[in-house]
Structure 1
Amino acid sequence: MASFLVYYGTGEGQTAKIADRIVVTLRARGHDATGVDTTETPANLTLDEYDAVLVGASIHGGKHQQAVIDFVDANRDELSAKPTAFFQVSMSSATEEGQEQAAGYVEAFLEETDWHPDRIAQFGGALRFSEFGFLKRFMVKQVVKREMPDLDTSQDAKFTDWQAVEDFANDVAAFVEGRLGIPTPDAGSSADQQ
């Protein structure tokens, strides 16, 4: 069994849901996995107690959460000494046309932090129109009409491929198991679809 830290920043909650699914998938493989939101980071959090670290961030206004960037900057040496992975959540990842832009966000993050994770994934996020204020809802709907003209903006929309999230978690776990010499368990789908 390996111990995993899943450290993430979330803007409107979809990255938290993805981090939770990763934690559930890792636990289903028999590992100890802990999810930590940047806003709830314990003062005594150290990476020493974890065998592997996954870091997740979402994109808002073309930028990742500063708290995630600060975490990677502060822990770069420790991250370099362990198996690591990075996952990004963005609306750009939700469409084929946006994939290049989403990849650019990842590249900019890695360049800014000078971090080289072993695994990287990009997931589509969600649009929670019902939670946006008037101005934000209006602005987002204008962009969506241009980028996704068939999307019904009268209700919330989720673009996360949950199977891809589980596949990523299983891939990271298999990599860590191989690197640490841990026998690979028989893992199946770990959670119901949301």
Structure 2
Amino acid sequence: MKTKIGILYSTVDGQTLKICNALKEILVEKGNTVEMYSIEDFDKEITDFDKFIIGASIRYGKHNPKIIEFINKNKANLNKTENAFFSVNLVARKLEKALPETNPYFIKFLKEIDWIPNKSAVFAGKLDYQKYPFTDRLMIQLIMWMTKGPTNPKTKIEYTDWDKVREFGVLINNHY
């Protein structure tokens, strides 16, 4: 019997979606059936799936409020289903902040909600100043300056560790 896996995501610039697509590919390779939904388009029940993954990116230090609302509203069903959560943020580009236990945004997220995912991960995102609207670019440059990151407006760096994404997909597949 194939395992039916749901992936729910929230993305700002598309990197979380790219990570979700990579996870989907890994899980389908392993023989699972995978359905993917944006937080705006999810119209199923969590319990329709054997496993449920949530991925969310950070913008200005916060996950999308719709993700937090979704988790708070669906906590009971999340707890009935094997689940995983991952966060995507640029702070995770630093090795010492690339784990759920050490990433300040992930730690803050867990304090905001009353739910602990079965499996969790933190992935570094992508920095692409030319893609951002003017105000976002200035704010992100300021944040990067404060955190000793690149501030050149032509900078385009994908920090995502794809081996780590693959390991997370294999973990999700093998864990349950």
> Is residue 174 of structure 1 aligned with residue 174 of structure 2?
yes
Q: In 2, distance between residues paired with 1:37 and 1:158?
A: 22
Change (3 A) 1:140 1:69: same
Contact 2:47 2:80 in 1 (8 A): no
Identify the residue that residue 24 of structure 1 maps to in structure 2.
25
> Could you tell me which amino acid in structure 2 is paired with residue 116 of structure 1?
I
Contact 1:90 1:102 in 2 (8 A): no
Q: Deviations over 1:26-56 (max 9, x none)?
A: 00100011111112223xx112220011111
Identify the residue that residue 143 of structure 2 maps to in structure 1.
143
Q: In 2, distance between residues paired with 1:27 and 1:96?
A: 29
Q: In 1, distance between residues paired with 2:116 and 2:55?
A: 14
In structure 1, runs of 5+ residues without a counterpart are 177-194
Give the root-mean-square deviation of aligned CA atoms: 2.0
Query: Whose relative contact order is higher, 1 or 2, with alpha carbons under 8 Å and at least 6 apart?
Result: 1
Contact 1:11 1:58 in 2 (8 A): yes
Give the deviation of 1:153 after TM superposition.
3.9
Contact 2:7 2:36 in 1 (8 A): yes
Q: With structure 1 as the length reference, what TM-score do the two structures score?
A: 0.81
SS in 2 for 1:30: coil
> Is residue 89 of structure 1 aligned with residue 66 of structure 2?
no
Q: In 1, distance between residues paired with 2:15 and 2:64?
A: 14
Contact 2:50 2:82 in 1 (8 A): yes
Structure with greater Cα Rg: 1
Q: Deviations over 1:135-191 (max 9, x none)?
A: 322332233244345675413221101111011011011012xxxxxxxxxxxxxxx
Aligned residues: 174
Identity %: 26
Identify the residue that residue 155 of structure 2 maps to in structure 1.
155
Contact 1:57 1:87 in 2 (8 A): yes
Q: In 1, distance between residues paired with 2:139 and 2:78?
A: 38
Give the deviation of 1:94 after TM superposition.
0.8
Q: In 1, distance between residues paired with 2:153 and 2:159?
A: 13
Higher strand residue share? 2
Change (3 A) 1:144 1:137: same
Give the deviation of 1:25 after TM superposition.
0.7
In structure 2, runs of 5+ residues without a counterpart are none
Change (3 A) 1:97 1:147: farther
Q: In 2, distance between residues paired with 1:62 and 1:155?
A: 21
Q: Deviations over 1:90-129 (max 9, x none)?
A: 0111113544896232222223221121111000001121
Query: Any residues of structure 2 matched to 1:9-88 within 5 Å, and which?
Result: 9-42=10-43, 45-88=44-87
Change (3 A) 1:97 1:142: farther
